[in-house]
Amino acid sequence: MIRSDVSVHDAFRRMIETSEAILELDLEEEEDAERLGALQARQVALRVHIERAWSSAYRNDPEIHALTEKAYESERQVNDRLKAARQMFSNHLSKIQVGSRMKNAYHHEYSQAEGYFFDRKK
């Protein structure tokens, strides 16, 4: 949770720092994947804080405009990176599924016995 005394300027700066931290993550590492979730939760909390603290006084503030542009650009880079990672993982899963289907095409497992004939006559 974000403290209520954090200014909108500071919240935007923290948002940018959080986006940069996400960009530095190695998404193939499990620890970094867990950290990604924590950083995204922090972004949500910062967005909520900014929405609550926002007032019309910030509308013409040049520093806020600059911070907003930088935060937007950082978030766009994060989204591009996450989309690329998602596509990469999706491709890996598709290859695994294709391999599994190919394996099953030649290795059937039958639930009934085949080739056995029982003659009741002796």
**Structural domain contains residue 110:** no
**Structural domain contains residue 117:** no
- Top mean pLDDT of 27-36, 52-61, 72-81, 92-101 is at 72-81
Query: For 19-56, what is the HEC assignment?
Result: HHHHHCCCCCCHHHHHHHHHHHHHHHHHHHHHHHHCCH
75-79 LR contacts (CB < 8 Å, sep 24+):
75/15, 75/19, 77/19, 77/23, 78/19, 78/22, 78/23
Query: 83: domain range?
Result: 8-105
- Top mean pLDDT of 13-17, 59-63, 106-110 is at 13-17
**Structural domain contains residue 75:** yes
pTM for this prediction = 0.69
Under 8 Å between Cβ of 47 and 12? no
Angle ∠(51,55,57) on CA atoms, nearest 5:
145
**Structural domain contains residue 23:** yes
More confident residue, 101 or 39: 39
Residue 56 pLDDT level (bands cut at 50, 70, 90)? confident
**Structural domain contains residue 59:** yes
Burial of residue 47 (CB within 10 Å: 0-12, 13-18, 19+) is middle
Residue 113 pLDDT level (bands cut at 50, 70, 90)? low
Return the DSSP state at 57.
Answer: G
**Structural domain contains residue 114:** no
* Total of domains in the chain: 1
pLDDT, mean of residues 81-103? 89
